[in-house]
Amino acid sequence: MKISHPSNLSTPRIEELRSTAQKLEACFTAEMLRAAGLHSQGGTAGGGVGETQFSSFLIEQQAKAITTAGGLNLTDCILSKLLKAEGAK
């Protein structure tokens, strides 16, 4: 997706906004993974207490990997809105 940005923004600021958009997409993806029930294995072959305690970390890393690989394509949408808001200032 080609994103136009206000000419008054510096490249570091644009990259900061892109990073913020990517983090937001990763958080959203993690919540979707949790809602899908990927955090609990259960059963007799489950990981027990350790799995319960660390499953949130696994989901966060999976969400980051999904987002980095292209994810749900929300990063560009979020970034375009952030750039638009920055240009309005």
Which string of DSSP letters, residue by residue, matches 15-62? HHHHHHHHHHHHHHHHHHHHHTTTT---STTS-HHHHHHHHHHHHHHH
pLDDT at 5: 61
CA 81/CA 20 separation, integer angstroms: 12
For the whole model, what pTM was predicted? 0.76
pLDDT at 56: 86
Reading the block at residue 35, the tokens are 């809602």
Regions of the chain where pLDDT drops below 50: none
pLDDT at 10: 87
Q: Tell me the percentage of the chain whose pLDDT exceeds 70.
A: 79
CA 48/CA 26 separation, integer angstroms: 26
pLDDT at 61: 94
